[in-house]
Structure 1
Amino acid sequence: MKKKTGAALILILSVMLVIAGCGSNGNSNSNSTGNKSKDNEAKKETTEAVSGASEASYTPYDQLKDKYDIIIVGAGGAGMSAALEAKAKGMNPVILEKMPVAGGNTTKSSSGMNASQTKFQKEQGIEDSNDLFYEETLKGGHDTNDKELLRFFVDNSAGAIDWLDSIGIRLNNITITGGMKEKRTHRPEDGSAVGQYLFKGLVKNVQEQGIPLFVNADVKEITEKDGKVTGVKVLFNQADEKTITGSAVIVTTGGFGANKEMIAEVRPDLEGLVTTNQIGSTGDGIQMIEKLGGTTVDMDQIQVHPTVQQEKSYLIGEAVRGEGAILVSSEGKRFTNEMDTRDHVTAAINKLPEKAAILVFDSGVKSRVKAIEQYEKMGFVLTSDSIEGLAKEMNVPADQLQKTMDTWNSAVKNKKDAEFGRTTGMDNDLSGAPFYAIKIGPGIHYTMGGVKINTNTEVLNKEGQPITGLFAAGEVVGGLHGQNRIGGNSVAEIIIFGRQAGIKSAEFVKAQ
């Protein structure tokens, strides 16, 4: 009993320290309007993350050591997966996270994790193959994907699902996302958003394995000597700089979707769009690796997600459409195949006069996509017991919306969408009251570009040679997705390549 009470007190104090740390950081430069805006954003991010982070008691600063076998920069899904595999191989890893809470963009993931030939697919009679997964991902990326990375990715996807299941993270609820012909998007058993569930499961395992995880630990530089990585320089709590040595460094810092300057530099046409990224996604890892001679690929390939709630820049997951929702214009009409690839759906929305649309669904979709409960809590969801009432809430013509719904339900019944050729996400019609709608528009979602690696997750230089001791995984890496990412592939990427980084860096250290 005393142990439980003590653990609870540590947990409460941890959360208080996380919030207090964020507050003190935010108040350090509050004289300018710009900094106040950033402070408010940081507080908002922390508030959103605390729901998941409250179960994470981070390692106290006084436990920091001068040397570790493997230093992991970034505490998202890729970083924690790498740490767990490195630990399993007998290493002493450490995770350094610049934000006040762990999780990164992983906690914002919604739809699920793609994988083929999994045991859960087989149990549910879903016939799938790695080759089909490969072909559809290659087609989705317009045949520009790094084929070696892609082959490794699909062939190791089922193993990643098994590995997660072995550590208590079960993804056996399967749906479908745009650009796919088979159900291969794996979600938590209750159909809830994958991000928070995955984060909580990974951080629980990190704690159980005794892997140190420091927050407010902003890595500023990766150190090297004679062409070999030697460690990092890290700033703790924006004040205390330390140099930590390690035999290998794994960079899992995510992309640059929240860095407006970097985006404007490579894609000025996207300036002004909202972003779904957490504020820590600023491309730090890419910039540090470039300074070491690492090379990048596809930096101008930035994915705009078609369904983002604009006022709060909040992603409305693809699973909503995968479970049957449709998109309508301000006239109450469908205008595209909702299950096409993200770039095509985005382009269709941008052709509308208002460059925005409305997701429409019923109680059946709501019951199958638990993330909608969160959208309701955030005030995004319009609802009515009738189509006529919903049309009024949406401010669209009621007769047209009714006609659209009748036509769609008939298409589902006949398994033929004569209007736009949709073939997936048609298992259930939209006839179950009450009815719901969410207003959406495009937003910056994912940066396909990043540093170049090989299938061992070794970071490559301009000559295509590995930088000794340097590994990378997750959204910081470029090449896998080509010009367009398929929904559900980013979560798969962080687990598959995060694990590989942990395994290969451990092999490297042992060989020294």
Structure 2
Amino acid sequence: MARVVVVGGGNAGLCAALSARAEGAEVLLLDRGPADGSGSDSYFTGGLFRVAYDGLDQLEAIVGPLGMDPSTGIDAFAKYSEADFLEDWGRVTGYRCDAELAETVVGTSYDAITWLSGHKVPFLSGLVVDSAGRVRHTRPGWHGGFVEVSGAGPGLMAALLKAADNAGIRREHGVGVRSIERSAEGFRLVSRYAHGETVFHDADAVILASGGFQADPEWRTRALGPGWDLARVRASRYNTGRGIRIAQDLGAALYGNWSGCHAVAWSVGSRDAGDPKANHIFERESYPFGITVNVHGERFIDEASDFGAYTYARYGREVLRQDEQRAWQLFDAQCEEQLMDEYRTKNPEAARTRADTLEELAAKLAARGVDRDHLLRTVAEYNAAVDESVDFNPYVKDGRGTKGLRFDKSNWSRKLERGPFEAYEVTCGITFTFGGVRIGTDASVLDEDGRPIPGLFACGEMVGGLYYFNYASGTGLTSGAVLGRLAGRRAAEVVAHA
């Protein structure tokens, strides 16, 4: 009998399994996806972990020597305090996030990254020096303290799976847990394998780490509202909320922002959910440096209200609200240095339109259904409204905005006037949902009276209360690692006293 069973094999589940195993527990990990980890949302991430640190020496202990001269402006990134992390998290969620859980994640973030590094997760600095010799985040217009994994999501999963195998954790893939019942010995899990066999697993403690319900179009439409069945699922096709239902059947309290989700601007050329070759190549997150228009040729958002790290996860919702659930991000030649690598893919599915003049670009987009005349008028009005008295600076909120428009742009405004011009067609891509089960600061699943359900733990995207309305980049993987470690440790304690 496996004394601890972990349901879900992404970042959170693997961290839970490694933590429980380190405490001496026998661990079985059950996962619906393939053995390479590509069935998890973690596989499809950019591999960013937001982390609090008190000095560059702490950062270098994880990523190695930065080797940057002070003249690059590295001092501006010398610290990202716990207070800064908490303030950013609170601000983007309207201060409705569970304060105790957020404090637990933030206060343990550096320790968690150090622990992961000890398991050979290959971390890199999130900082680079640009062509002007100035240090910046690897993503122009990004903000906050983070490190990233070499190889992004696939690199993270490869490292964690190897660590799990080295630790002697038994993994079974292609198996979906259908239900969990109380038994005399703890829990009995009823599982169905891909080939049709039904198997029973007994455990003293269970850790649920099977994600949200974003891959279930009926549930997300019922929870998020009309039109959400049309959103593209960015990552795992296995995250249908089954773990949440199982926890609820065991008495778990539901918690969090059930009408909220992480949703981004996503290329209309994206493939089906869960294609491991796609990873995150269809992200379109450089919108703060251009303008975005709908099928009517109208702007409908302030593209630069904040750093992209704090707006990208809510702009997908704005695109979904537009007619035909699609929009176009427009850039001119001045924007080239600010475009992320995903824009430079030569894949024909990039849904990119290029032209030497605005008139030619508008004509090409008209063939895609865009109102040509209104588009040209929108660009002309935008260009005329740009305040050129303020210097452009992509590394700070520069206040270079527009004046007098229905949707004024707050920062990083430049006239679209230098060819060639490009348009990237986007729709809404949903990453994960915010509603889930309620847990305590030790990752114990709580019932409706706030009491821990003995032996039952949860971590990862199925935890509710962490995010409301919006999301700060990199907090998801960090939360998964922190709460996964806690869940594993506590589950092992249950086993020790069984």
With the length of structure 1 as denominator, give the TM-score of the two structures: 0.73
Question: Are the structure 2 counterparts of residues 134 and 199 from structure 1 closer, same or farther at C-alpha, using a change threshold of 3 Å?
Answer: same
In 1, the alpha carbon distance for the partners of 2:20 and 2:348 equals: 38
Partner residue of 1:110 out of 26, 46, 70: 46
| Residues 412-491 of structure 1: pairs in structure 2 closer than 5 A | 413=392, 415-419=398-402, 420=408, 422-423=410-411, 436-491=422-477
Find out whether 1:73 has 2:59 as its counterpart: no
Distance 2:82 2:351 in 1: 37
* 1:183 counterpart residue number: 144
Question: Is 1:359 the counterpart of 2:329 in the alignment?
Answer: yes
Q: Which residue of 1 aligns with 2:125?
A: 172
Q: Which has the higher helix share?
A: 1
CA distance in 2, matches of 1:406, 1:77: 48
* Per-residue CA distance 1:423-456 (angstroms, 9 max, x = gap): 5xx5999999876442112243321011110111
The residue number in structure 2 matching 1:213 is 171
Please state how far the C-alpha of 1:348 moved relative to its aligned partner: 4.9
Q: Is the 8 A contact 2:269 2:349 kept in 1?
A: no
2:350 matches 1:380: yes
Shift of the alpha carbon at 1:304?
Answer: 5.5
Per-residue deviation at 1:218?
Answer: 1.4
8 Å CA contact retained: 2:267, 2:351: no
AA partner of residue 86 (structure 1): A
**Structural mapping, 1:256-405, within 5 Å:** 256-276=213-233, 277-298=235-256, 300-303=258-261, 305-312=263-270, 316-317=282-283, 319-321=285-287, 324=289, 326-329=291-294, 331=297, 335-338=301-304, 340=306, 341-342=311-312, 345-346=315-316, 348-349=318-319, 355-361=325-331, 362-366=335-339, 369-372=340-343, 376-377=346-347, 379-382=349-352, 384=354, 386=356, 388=358, 393-395=364-366, 401=379
Between the aligned partners of 1:241 and 1:76, the Cα distance in structure 2 is 23
The alpha carbon displacement at 1:78 in A equals 0.8
**Aligned equivalent of 1:140:** 92
Aligned to 1:160: 112
Tell me the secondary structure at the aligned position of residue 255 of structure 1.
coil
Match of 1:120 in 2: 59
SS at match of 1:249: strand
User: Any conservation in 2 of the 1:254–1:285 contact (CA below 8 Å)?
Assistant: yes
Query: In the aligned structure 2, how far is the partner of 1:211 from the partner of 1:382?
Result: 45
Identity of aligned residues (%): 22
Q: CA deviation at 1:300?
A: 2.2
Does residue 90 in structure 1 map to residue 58 in structure 2? no
Are the structure 2 counterparts of residues 383 and 78 from structure 1 closer, same or farther at C-alpha, using a change threshold of 3 Å? Answer: same
Give the number of the structure with larger relative contact order, counting CA–CA contacts within 8 Å between residues 6 or more apart. Answer: 2
Greater shift, 196-205 or 306-315, is seen at 306-315
Q: Deviation of residue 265 (structure 1)?
A: 3.2
Aligned letter for 1:235?
R
- Check whether the contact 1:294–1:462 (CA below 8 A) recurs between aligned residues: yes
Distance apart, 1:231 and its partner CA: 4.0
Using a 3 Å threshold, how does the CA distance of structure 1 residues 225 and 210 change in structure 2: closer, same or farther?
A: closer
The whole-number CA distance in structure 1 between the counterparts of 2:209 and 2:363 is: 46
Alignment length, in residue pairs? 435
Q: Deviation at 1:267? A: 3.5
Cα 1:247–1:387 shift into 2, 3 Å: farther
The 5-angstrom pairing of residues 12-91 of structure 1 reads: 67-91=1-25
Report the 3-state secondary structure (helix = DSSP H, G, I; strand = E; otherwise coil) of the residue aligned with 1:475: helix
- When normalised by structure 2's length, the TM-score is 0.75
Shift of 1:80: 1.1
- The answer to whether the Cα contact below 8 Å between 1:79 and 1:252 also exists between their aligned partners in 2 is yes
Counterpart of 1:201 (choices 134, 159, 174) is 159
Partner secondary structure for residue 158 of structure 2: helix
**Structure 1 residues 247 and 478 mapped into 2: Cα distance closer, same or farther (>3 Å)?**
same
